[in-house]
Amino acid sequence: MDTGEIWGYMIHISGSLGVGCQYCHDINNFAADPYPAKISARLMLRLVNDLNGQFLSQIPTWGGNYVQCATCHHGQPNNMLAFSERNDYRPVNAVGEVLQPWSIDTYAIATSTEFVNQHPTTGKMLSMVNYMRENWDRYVLPDPENQALLAELPVNDRQDYIVIDETVYSVPNCYTCHQGNRIPAGAITRWELNRRADGGWTLLPDMLRGGEVDPETGRAIESAGTN
């Protein structure tokens, strides 16, 4: 990506998280890594690519939807809700355990639990949620404020806390992205990307779509418009 393309993509990320440049960057030295937010953002870009490549694009009925920053963040940098108000899940004290037990928050996706339980994509989506819960420490730096919760995790919170190696993380769940919609409002489609003159390069670069890319250019190896 050239400087202009990187700038365009950074503006898109800024809007997705509802923050300004200085949230992650030292505006006097954009190459520096002075803030944990920038390091986490870089790790999150790897998460976007991994989720698109390992899960979204592998759904048998995949319609060309990708996750991007806005899919989870909805204009908020952190503390996104994990569960719908109607969900009957409640966290339990999980000190010493890697994960908390959890149930499907079907109301996060649709008003009909039958629709969610019978939909052909549900299994792949649950695998994706489990993957994030098991590997979250690879994609984000721990929030120091959450570590006070280690003694006893909240029992009536709409956030999903897990403990990995005695470190507390707040992780996304079904509601974080879906918020009652079958397809998350913050998802982006292949059609939306391909209709742009640059192929959506400054909205979701090819190297974040989970496909094979040219290591020199970062562009999809497939012919233009197929990814």
- Give the residue among 160, 132, 192, 107 at the shortest CA–CA distance from 201: 192
Q: Indicate the SS3 state at residue 170.
A: strand
Residue 219: CA count within 13 A, CB half-sphere: 13
Furthest-apart CA atoms within the chain: distance in Å? 54
Q: Summarize pLDDT for 28-72 with one digit per residue, the tens.
A: 998 888 899 999 999 999 999 999 999 998 887 788 889 999 999
Cα(213)–Cα(20) distance, integer angstroms: 30
Count of other CB atoms within 10 angstroms of residue 11? 12
Q: What is the pTM of this model?
A: 0.84
Q: Summarize pLDDT for 116-148 with one digit per residue, the tens.
A: 666 777 778 888 888 998 999 999 999 998 898
Q: Which residues contact 107 (CB under 8 A, 6 or more apart)?
A: 84, 86, 87, 113, 180
